[in-house]
Structure 1
Amino acid sequence: MVDPALVVAPAAVRAGVNATAGPTRKAILAATIGNALEFYDFITYGFFSIQVGRAFFPAHSEYASLMLSLGLFGAGFVARPIGGIVIGAYADRVGRRPAMMLSFALMGLAIIGLACIPSYAAIGIVAPILAVIARLVQGFSLGGEVGPTTAYLMEAADSRRRGLTVSWQGASQGLAGTVAALVGFTLSSLLPPAALDAYGWRVAFLLGAVTLPYGLWLRRNLPETLHTPEPAGTVAAADSESRGALMAASRRVLLLGLLVISAGSIASSVSSYMTTFAQHALHMRPSLAFAGGVISSLSGVIGYLGGGWLSDRVGRRPVMIAPALAHLLVMIPVFYWIVEARSGTALLVGAAINGVLAGSGASAFYAAMTESLPKRIRSGSFAAIYAIANAIFGGTTQLIVTWLTHATGSTMAPVGYMFVAAMVGIVARWLIVESAPAKARLGPSA
């Protein structure tokens, strides 16, 4: 007898999404291309925050200009919760595909807009105002991106390979970060500092926006998963239950998810900031700093995919917890080595360790969260907690660690902030219930 939970609507089968084979490569690419563009922008801004500051916020000191630039970076996170709630809920009501189309279109237009705004020297105060508007639009779209796409990957996947399929959400970040770091490395190697300030950083942003037409075309042809039967191993919910009741029943999962994502957001922001930190605080060559970003991102891809694959076999909780504990143990020694040695070897090895350990635990967490939420609130609730965590911590981390480094005079300030967040994240991961179909069956109250 065929398990009804493994039956998929004929339209989805014709489009290449089915319960045995999972989504096609094209469908995975379509679902993750927006997240990749998001992370490309995130990494690129972190790499070029000094140059962006000089373009829009000329100041008497390098520190003041950098702080204003990081403030603009944080402005993009202000609108994320709104985008997460609005676009995420839209995906739960209307469908994953239209929500993904909307978020990706807004995202691409905002990136192009930021890259094309004239400098402060050309149009005065209008320049930073337009830059803030572009970042707010971008933040709104990015807030609504992760919920629908992660829900789509989970719903389209074969239940036996759900962890690996969902891990492409994080792996796309690593791949995009690799491309961003390579672009930054190339531009910083080929262009003199004056050219980087004038137009080099703009070229980096526009290169990411090249994916906009292709991404829209891919997403337009995605099969919808909102109305397909739920696969085995996911939380069931009665049709009569309201969204409010479902949210209340899932409050424990949502709170724990918020804590894990907050800790991960701080770690990701500190890792992204390392390129700026290596140049600004450790006085390393820009090309070496960008090389560290390349290694960190590539190792993150390995960590995400490896962690997702392993979580399908041994369960979500072991893969969420073990790498996080290992990361906590090596975090301070590795960072101290980088700061004291100030060498390429220390920076590259440290970046590799950080990428593998952070990525492997995160992919298992993404799968666990989406499996633990009912379909009718999966996209909106996940998008909301993701956006809120990133708005509070992702948008402020680089600003905080820059201030901490400046105020204390200690180059160890960033890792201290990350260490405290990591401890909170580990406790939250420990409390999350196992959700992998191979290891557990979730009941309605899980």
Structure 2
Amino acid sequence: MNATSLHSDSGAPPHAHSRATRAKAIAAITLGNGLEFFDFTVYSFFASTIGALYFPVHGALNQLMLAVGSFGVGFIVRPLGGVFIGAFADRAGRKAAMTLTLWLMALGSALIAFAPTYAQIGLFAPALILLARLIQGFAVGGEVGASTSLLLEYADDRTRGFYGSWQFVSQGLNAVCGALIGVALSTALTPSALESWGWRVPFVLGMLVAPVGVYIRRHLDETLVHAQPAESTAAEDIARPLREIFTRHRVALVAGVVTTIGGTAANYIVLFYMSTYAIRILGLPVSVGMSAALVAALVTAVCSPFAGWLSDRVGRKWVFGVSRVLLIAAIYPAFMLIHAMPTVGMVLAVVAVLGALVAFTAVPNIVMLPELFPQSIRVTGMSIVYCVGVSIFGGFAQFFATWLIKLLGNPLAPAWYLIGCGAVSLLALPLIREPAGRPLD
């Protein structure tokens, strides 16, 4: 495969295009990762329902643990997806990899949408849910690296933070869409209708988004410019970037994983678990829990471009470090407030503040990851770093939080989980050279 075949017919460098063209490209690039967060949002909202229908163990808290545990299972295969799809993206191009991940995401959504319940087919029911989460986790493992790398490769040296921030904007906006649909369904339907079929509707919608995303992405310019040996095998395509990453980029690998730990734990707790916490721990109505997630996602989406812009001006490390320290300082008082005053207004105010802090700490973090690696191994490197950090500390954040509450008998236990992850993530910051303003390649 030669380098010329990896470009669109226009032949122009992506950042030379008009503002309207670049805006369309940002929307197309971020669609797939946004779809992931749409599915994650509605899965989190209906975790209690899914737990009751597919994991009929004794005790509501045990059902919830199994439901959020199945949510986390998809993260186990993320590093595997990152390696295989990342290597594919570093050889065949970013567009081809992102098309593959969209179809895999649609397949996972379809399995969840149409899976019979435990009462209908017994143990095959939870097995189908687990299979769907594994497929989606494998897909997202490659999607995040490919789409984020493409965003940065579309930008110039002064705008990479802003461009990369739209990855997080898409996550927030799609979480907002999931929250709105969840609120609408919980309001319009009776509890029996919601449990019977209503919870499946968002997953059907998520399944239908994939063909639209493939159609939109067809006009994107490919940014991969290096040529791979025509005689190389699939095994060599995977082994080459792995060998280079683990020999020449070990420090970047370790630093990237460690920095990701704090941001991803905060992201999944604030954007997803807080709604479940409000419902199951604080005893608030389902509509309040969904509204809390809606506010958190909306604030995150609004703040993310500003966080990216600021990181272009003053540096990724400065924005990352200051905001993460502030988040560590705020998280325990935040849980104390909503536990002492479990009112609608207090919960929404707390998640709004935390959502803003999550945006300012997560955006420079996710932008720094592809900047750690050269173009020839960028998707593979970023995918491994991101997926390893997210797989353990993000995907199972809800499970760990629920387990800690049960183990310690303390409803404030999730705060300690976030504090620990955030503190550890700051240790790797001195290992990273400030990438803002420097040439990407």
Compute the TM-score of the two structures, normalised by the length of structure 2.
0.91
Letter in 1 for 2:314: V
- Indicate conservation of the 8 Å contact 1:281/1:411, yes or no: yes
Q: 1:312: which partner in 2?
A: 312
With over 3 angstroms needed to count, the CA separation of the structure-2 counterparts of 1:130 and 1:10, relative to structure 1, is: closer
SS of aligned partner of 1:415: helix
Q: 1:17: which partner in 2?
A: 14
Q: 1:356: which partner in 2?
A: 356
- Indicate conservation of the 8 Å contact 1:32/1:169, yes or no: yes
Q: 2:265: which partner in 1?
A: 266
- Indicate conservation of the 8 Å contact 1:55/1:198, yes or no: no
Query: Counterparts of 1:399 and 1:369 in 2: how far apart (Å)?
Result: 26
Q: State the 1:247 CA deviation.
A: 4.2
Query: Counterparts of 2:215 and 2:17 in 1: how far apart (Å)?
Result: 26
SS of aligned partner of 1:137: helix
Deviation string, structure 1 residues 331-381 (Cα, Å, up to 9, x no partner): 111221011100112111111111111112221222222222111111011
SS of aligned partner of 2:224: coil
Q: State the 1:21 CA deviation.
A: 5.0
Letter in 2 for 1:364: P
Deviation string, structure 1 residues 43-64 (Cα, Å, up to 9, x no partner): 2111111111111112332122
Query: Counterparts of 1:218 and 1:270 in 2: how far apart (Å)?
Result: 32
1:342 aligns with 2:339: no
Q: State the 1:430 CA deviation.
A: 4.5
Letter in 2 for 1:318: W
Pairing of 1:132-147 with structure 2 (within 5 A): 132-147=130-145
1:281 aligns with 2:278: no
- Which one is further off, 369-378 or 279-288? 369-378
Query: Counterparts of 1:154 and 1:228 in 2: how far apart (Å)?
Result: 16
Q: 1:120: which partner in 2?
A: 118
Q: CA RMSD in A?
A: 2.1
Pairing of 1:362-381 with structure 2 (within 5 A): 362-381=362-381
Pairing of 1:233-252 with structure 2 (within 5 A): 243=241, 244-252=243-251
Q: 1:254: which partner in 2?
A: 253
Q: State the 1:208 CA deviation.
A: 2.3
Deviation string, structure 1 residues 24-68 (Cα, Å, up to 9, x no partner): 222111110000011111121111111111111123321222122
- Indicate conservation of the 8 Å contact 1:247/1:377, yes or no: no
Pairing of 1:74-93 with structure 2 (within 5 A): 74-93=72-91
Q: 1:236: which partner in 2?
A: none
Letter in 2 for 1:267: A
Query: Counterparts of 1:434 and 1:20 in 2: how far apart (Å)?
Result: 27
Pairing of 1:285-296 with structure 2 (within 5 A): 285-296=285-296
Q: 1:398: which partner in 2?
A: 398
With over 3 angstroms needed to count, the CA separation of the structure-2 counterparts of 1:228 and 1:357, relative to structure 1, is: farther
Query: Counterparts of 2:87 and 2:185 in 1: how far apart (Å)?
Result: 40
- Indicate conservation of the 8 Å contact 2:369/2:386, yes or no: no
Letter in 1 for 2:14: V
Q: 2:231: which partner in 1?
A: none
With over 3 angstroms needed to count, the CA separation of the structure-2 counterparts of 1:316 and 1:334, relative to structure 1, is: same
Query: Counterparts of 1:10 and 1:136 in 2: how far apart (Å)?
Result: 32
- Indicate conservation of the 8 Å contact 1:304/1:361, yes or no: no
Q: State the 1:12 CA deviation.
A: 6.9
Q: 2:230: which partner in 1?
A: none
Pairing of 1:44-83 with structure 2 (within 5 A): 44-83=42-81
Query: Counterparts of 1:247 and 1:191 in 2: how far apart (Å)?
Result: 52
Q: 2:94: which partner in 1?
A: 96
Q: State the 1:16 CA deviation.
A: 7.9
SS of aligned partner of 1:395: coil
Query: Counterparts of 2:245 and 2:414 in 1: how far apart (Å)?
Result: 38
Q: State the 1:99 CA deviation.
A: 0.5
2:28 to 14, 27, 30: 30
With over 3 angstroms needed to count, the CA separation of the structure-2 counterparts of 1:356 and 1:49, relative to structure 1, is: same
- Indicate conservation of the 8 Å contact 2:45/2:290, yes or no: yes
Deviation string, structure 1 residues 214-241 (Cα, Å, up to 9, x no partner): 1011122221100179xxxxxxxxxxxx
Query: Counterparts of 1:12 and 1:364 in 2: how far apart (Å)?
Result: 33
Q: 2:201: which partner in 1?
A: 203
Compute the TM-score of the two structures, normalised by the length of structure 1.
0.90
Letter in 1 for 2:413: A
Deviation string, structure 1 residues 172-208 (Cα, Å, up to 9, x no partner): 1111111111111121222222222212221122222
- Which one is further off, 355-364 or 59-68? 59-68
- Indicate conservation of the 8 Å contact 1:19/1:158, yes or no: no
Query: Counterparts of 2:244 and 2:185 in 1: how far apart (Å)?
Result: 52
Query: Counterparts of 2:387 and 2:372 in 1: how far apart (Å)?
Result: 18
- Indicate conservation of the 8 Å contact 2:8/2:220, yes or no: no
- Which one is further off, 405-414 or 364-373? 364-373
- Indicate conservation of the 8 Å contact 2:226/2:376, yes or no: no
Q: 1:414: which partner in 2?
A: 414
- Indicate conservation of the 8 Å contact 1:166/1:363, yes or no: yes
Q: State the 1:395 CA deviation.
A: 2.6
Query: Counterparts of 2:429 and 2:85 in 1: how far apart (Å)?
Result: 27
With over 3 angstroms needed to count, the CA separation of the structure-2 counterparts of 1:103 and 1:11, relative to structure 1, is: closer
1:326 aligns with 2:323: no
The aligned length equals 421
Q: Which runs of 5+ in 1 are unaligned?
A: 1-8, 230-241
Q: Which runs of 5+ in 2 are unaligned?
A: 1-5, 228-239
- Which one is further off, 216-225 or 58-67? 58-67
- Which one is further off, 316-325 or 412-421? 316-325
- Indicate conservation of the 8 Å contact 1:82/1:140, yes or no: yes
1:184 to 178, 182, 185: 182
- Indicate conservation of the 8 Å contact 2:264/2:362, yes or no: no
